[in-house]
Amino acid sequence: MNLTRRKFLKVGGSSAALLATVGCDRLPREVRALYEPAKNSGPFAPPASEQIDAVTHALNRAAFGARPGEYERVKKQGATPDEAAAAYLDHQLSPEKIPDDETDYAVRRFETLAQPLGELFEYQEELLQNELMRGTLTRAVLSERQLFEVMVQFWSDHFNIDPSKGDAKWLKVADDREVIRRHALGKFADLLRASALSPAMLWYLDGRVNRRENRKDKPNENYARELLELHTLGVHGGYTQRDVMEVARCLTGWTVRSRNRPPYFEIGKVEFKLHQHDCDAKEVLGQKISAIPDRLNKEDRERLGQRELDRVLEIVTRHPSTAKHISTKLCRRFIADEPPAGAIEKVADAFTQSSGDIRATLRALFASEEFRRARGNKFKRPFHYIVSALRATGAKTDAGLEIIDYLRRMGHAPFNYPTPDGYPEPAAPWLGTLLWRWNFALAVSENKLKGTRIDFATLQKNSGGDDGLMAHLLGRKPTADEAQAYHESGAGLALMLASPAFQRC
């Protein structure tokens, strides 16, 4: 097509008229991108306090850090920083009300993430893994639903699955979409049940081979043990080895169709097989579960057999140790590596009173004095660190494999942890990543990462110069020593990104 300058201007004028007529928000997303100004692209006011205020604290802890201009936008939501932070957190607890078209559009290029369960087996496992990691990174960097993404990561660790095991290579994509993302801010009971019947989890923790076709068969305990130790009551939650065995017996008969076994269709489908279920009486944590009578017809016996899974989940979800275990982990994530007992108790009470409503539980956590006081005391895990650096600098990124490689070198690439306990939250395991953090800070600040670009001059100008830029990155005014190091280093942006203050949240 031979498009002359005159024709181009004519088309441009027509487009502008169309834009004025229909409104920018009614144009296709691809066309809107030509006319809409980039978010947070103009001058903005960085934090002016010498200490981390409530707004910066909320953006650091309940999100992956502030993007250019975000601090100013959030601060306007209240008369004081405390009121603004509270309004922001309340808004984040309703992600369904937050438009996120930019993120949805960006993630569309990772086509496998939207594929139906059965069709995932048509793709190479490496492609699935790469798109799952890149999609996760893209969402964390771009999403307006920041708390939701934080909780997705929290639950991904809590219900960790190593995709390298068997069919989990293909099934983890569906697990991330249908289990973790669907229930991340819903009811814990729903999340737990979805995880228990997740094809990927049935593969990873051997639930698919937990069967008892005759009295000589010994049920597989793997999932039952992790259900009690990691997913619900916690290691010191009061269960015994007998409880593990009884739970395993209750969960016999559940399996998932495999690509390597008959009938070779509907791969990934979860099924209950009555002839592999232990129908005798059981007792879980003091709660009796009656035997399934032989006199009943097959349909009723199958219904009662399947009901035993729900009965087990009801027992463990309502157990007080579960409220304490989940609340301790939430307080460790949002308050401190060694969370205060008082905060845990308040959050556990909210969990119990709301029947495990995750939003209500988080509201109680965010309203606690312990949360409000705990500022700048946590060390960012590598994923948090890299995402916060990309967000703070306003980087345009394709979440490419070079960034994923940095996460691998730091030991924190998404969906790569080999054991069921998930990536650790406390700082100690991550202190050995400091050199790679410095290397990343240099690479990203010098635009040496393929597919990722930072416009330093514009960022510096929009933040009000060097002092404003430092305040934006640190979430407060820089100290005299920090400012001196910034000016003398010759690599001020990299120095700030690698500074102790930026690496904490």
Q: 340 preceded by cis ω (within 30°)?
A: no
Per-residue CA distances from 39 to 47, 73, 128, 270, 336 (Å): 19, 11, 30, 44, 32
Amino acid at position 311, single letter: R
**Residue 339 covered by a domain:** yes
**Residue 342 covered by a domain:** yes
**Residue 348 covered by a domain:** yes
Can you give the pLDDT at residue 140?
Answer: 98
**Structural domain for 364, as ranges:** 320-373
Please state the separation of Cα 236 from the chain's center in Å: 26
Amino acid at position 298, single letter: K
Q: Residue holding tokens 């490496």? A: 126
For residue 225, count other CB atoms closer than 10 A to its CB: 19
Q: How far is the first Cα of the chain from the last one, in angstroms, to the nearest whole number? A: 53
**Residue 354 covered by a domain:** yes
* Residue closest to 335 by CA, chosen among 343, 324, 323, 346: 343
Can you give the pLDDT at residue 26?
Answer: 53
Walk along the chain (505 residues) and give the pLDDT tens digit of each residue.
443 444 333 433 443 443 344 444 454 555 444 344 455 579 999 999 999 999 999 999 999 999 999 999 999 999 999 999 999 999 999 999 999 999 999 999 999 999 999 999 999 999 999 999 999 999 999 999 999 999 999 999 999 999 999 999 999 999 999 999 999 999 999 999 999 999 999 999 999 999 998 888 999 999 999 999 999 999 999 999 999 999 999 999 999 999 888 888 899 999 999 999 999 999 999 999 999 999 999 999 999 999 999 999 999 999 999 999 999 999 999 999 999 999 999 999 999 999 999 999 999 999 999 999 999 999 999 999 999 999 999 999 999 999 999 999 999 999 999 999 999 999 999 999 999 999 999 999 999 999 999 999 999 999 999 999 999 999 999 999 999 999 999 999 999 999 999 999 9
Say if residues 207 and 223 touch (Cβ distance below 8 Å): yes
Distance CA 473, CA 392 (A): 6
Can you give the pLDDT at residue 39?
Answer: 58
* Residue closest to 47 by CA, chosen among 392, 378, 455: 392
Say what the pTM is.
0.93
**Residue 489 covered by a domain:** no
Residues 6+ apart with CB under 8 A from 26: none
**Residue 105 covered by a domain:** no
**Residue 485 covered by a domain:** no
CA atoms in the 13 A half-sphere facing the CB of 495: 16
**Residue 327 covered by a domain:** yes
Task: Quote the number of domains for the chain.
Answer: 1
What is the C-alpha radius of gyration for the chain, rounded to an integer number of angstroms? 25
Structure tokens at 441: 């800070």
Can you give the pLDDT at residue 259?
Answer: 85
